[in-house]
């Protein structure tokens, strides 16, 4: 595959148009009429696909953290630059789990008030 958007012999305008085409193909590798949100797997063409494929499922009520906490967030103008995927996941998982617990408490309060009426 030739990457025309990298060809400096082309004008900047043509390279930008080629970039749009390249990006569209990269971001949408499957034709729209064949795209299935339940089975889409961008790793389908890799040799280890059959032994390592994972199913698409709804996540569990509580996200697993194995007790791990994310590293401290570095705050400044470049916020987010030094957070890795694991830390982003752990921040997200801890907050989701915290919200889930709070929702459960509120649901119990609501249920108790309904039974008192």
- Each residue of 39-71: pLDDT tens digit? 888 888 888 888 888 888 899 999 999 999 999
- Does the pTM surpass 0.95? The reply is no
Q: How far apart are CA 19 and CA 26, in angstroms?
A: 10
User: Cβ(90)–Cβ(70) under 8 Å?
Assistant: yes
User: Cβ(109)–Cβ(80) under 8 Å?
Assistant: no
Helix (H, G, I), strand (E, B) or coil at 84: coil
110 in the same domain as 64 = yes
pLDDT above 70 (res 1): no
Q: What is the mean pLDDT of the chain?
A: 91
Residue where one domain finishes, among candidates 19, 39, 57: 57
pLDDT at 114: 84
Q: How far apart are CA 3 and CA 16, in angstroms?
A: 12
32 in the same domain as 13 = yes
Total Cβ atoms within 10 A of residue 89: 16
Q: Answer yes or no: is 2 within a domain.
A: no
Give the closest residue to 16 by CA, choosing from 26, 25, 6: 6
Q: Which domain holds residue 41?
A: 8-57
């Amino acid at each position: 595959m030739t990457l025309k958007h990298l060809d400096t012999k082309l004008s900047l305008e043509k390279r930008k148009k080629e970039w749009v085409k390249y990006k569209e193909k990269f971001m949408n590798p499957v034709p729209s009429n064949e795209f299935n949100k339940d089975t889409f797997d961008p790793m389908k063409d890799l040799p280890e696909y059959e032994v390592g494929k994972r199913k698409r499922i709804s996540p569990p009520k509580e996200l697993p953290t194995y007790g791990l906490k994310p590293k401290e967030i570095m705050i400044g103008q470049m916020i987010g630059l030094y957070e890795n995927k694991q830390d982003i996941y752990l921040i997200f998982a801890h907050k989701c789990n915290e919200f889930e617990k709070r929702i459960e408490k509120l649901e119990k309060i609501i249920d108790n008030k309904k039974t008192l009426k």
